[in-house]
Amino acid sequence: MGRVIVECVPNFSEGRSESVVGQIVKAIASVPSVAVLGSTMDVDHHRSVVTFAGTPKSVQEAALLGVAEAVSLIDLKQHRGVHPRLGAADVVPFVPVKGITLRDCAELAVEVGERIWRRLGVPVFLYEAAARRADRVRLEHVRQGGFETLVKKVLADPASAPDIGGPALHPSAGACIVGARKLLIAYNINLDSSDINIAKTIARSIRASSGGFPHVKALGFALQSRGIVQVSMNLVDFEATPLHVVQEAVRVQAENLGIGILGGEIIGFMPQKVLEQAAAYYLKFESFDSNMVLERQLEQRLGD
């Protein structure tokens, strides 16, 4: 039947020391049946992101080891970056990839949150699909004010207390925001133009926050090195708003503005289903389901 696969994409408050990030990645990669798919560091944000995947239990174990390493190596009191953060291990989302639901991933997140508090003494806020309160669903609401504000607020205001442990934050590692969310696709479309206003206009017209497509975040950027502009997107629910629908909208808008599309790019990875959605749409199959794909059949029938 193929394995159950969960992805985890923790964000750590260290983006300058390769040694520190390297030790965190090493701790994560030490767990059998876990594959580190990538890690990035950002000097300005002073932040790093590690992407790894595996079976639920191995991913939980690896997340805990990564958080433990960050808690022992990172001192938030010394940390200054442009990106808001609440903890040394700032955000730990669990993402369903295969054979598991978002709800299941929320349960994995709660279990890891409890272990983070018990073993490391770092209190935990639960967000997105793992949130216990409506005002903690959105990450930006949980993180509001950051470590420096929350460290006092949790003691003064019981309503601000963490969901697990606390109420005091950890003196050097703050708190950890643990949760579950759907798989996010980072998708950019490069335009044959150097006019940043065109990229911004298109981004505004397609993003959810400006009344565009649901589950789409978009910004217009200039790519200085190539002399072109880009619509940079996050598709936070590609099953509800498929990539090809967004691509068509950007293409039509660009055409209306007299601009061509140079091409699309995926930052990181996209799930198989994106291809299936696009193929079913463009190839006009009378009916399409993934069982028409030979490899899916073999996976199901041979456990390949």
Diameter of the chain measured on Cα atoms:
61
To its own copies, the closest distance from the beta carbon of 97 in angstroms equals 7
To its own copies, the closest distance from the beta carbon of 165 in angstroms equals 32
Q: Partners of 148 in the beta sheet? A: none
Cα–Cα separations (whole angstroms), residue 165 to 88, 155, 229: 16, 13, 46
Which lies closer to its own copies via its Cβ, residue 172 or residue 188? 188
Per-residue contact flags (x/-) with its own copies for residues 14 to 43, judged by CB under 8 A:
-------------------x-x-x------
List 11, 190, 193, 230, residue binding its own copies (CB under 8 A): 190
Is 87:13 a contact under the CB 8 Å cutoff? yes
Which lies closer to its own copies via its Cβ, residue 40 or residue 172? 40
Q: Per CB under 8 A, which of residues 84..113 are in contact with its own copies?
A: 97-98
Which lies closer to its own copies via its Cβ, residue 13 or residue 51? 51
Q: According to the binding rule CB under 8 A, does residue 1 interact with its own copies? A: no
**CB-count exposure of residue 35 (10 Å: 0-12, 13-18, 19+):** middle
- Confirm whether 83 is a catalytic residue: yes
SS3 125: strand
The residue range among 1-9, 105-113, 152-160, 231-239 that interacts with its own copies, by the rule CB under 8 A, is 1-9
Is 91:142 a contact under the CB 8 Å cutoff? no
SS3 217: strand
- Give the whole-angstrom CA distance, residue 202 versus residue 80: 34
List 24, 53, 86, 131, residue binding its own copies (CB under 8 A): 53
Catalytic residue among 45, 83, 141, 244: 83
To its own copies, the closest distance from the beta carbon of 270 in angstroms equals 6
SS3 101: coil
Is 11:42 a contact under the CB 8 Å cutoff? no
Q: According to the binding rule CB under 8 A, does residue 193 interact with its own copies? A: no
Cα–Cα separations (whole angstroms), residue 304 to 1, 3, 269, 294: 8, 9, 21, 11
Q: Per CB under 8 A, which of residues 267..286 are in contact with its own copies?
A: 269-272, 274-276, 278-279, 282-286
The residue range among 17-25, 102-110, 149-157, 258-266 that interacts with its own copies, by the rule CB under 8 A, is 258-266
If binding means CB under 8 A, how many residues of this protein chain bind its own copies? 47
Is 165:130 a contact under the CB 8 Å cutoff? no
Helical pair 56-73 and 102-120, crossing angle rounded to 10 deg: 40
List 43, 156, 159, 294, residue binding its own copies (CB under 8 A): 294
The residue range among 11-19, 73-81, 148-156, 244-252 that interacts with its own copies, by the rule CB under 8 A, is 244-252
Q: Are strands 261-267 and 185-191 parallel, antiparallel or unpaired?
A: antiparallel
Which residues in this chain contact its own copies in the complex, by CB under 8 A?
2-3, 5, 7, 33, 35, 37, 53-54, 97-98, 183, 190, 243-244, 247, 251, 261-266, 269-272, 274-276, 278-279, 282-287, 292-295, 297-298, 301-302, 304
Q: Among all residues, which ones are annotated catalytic?
A: 83
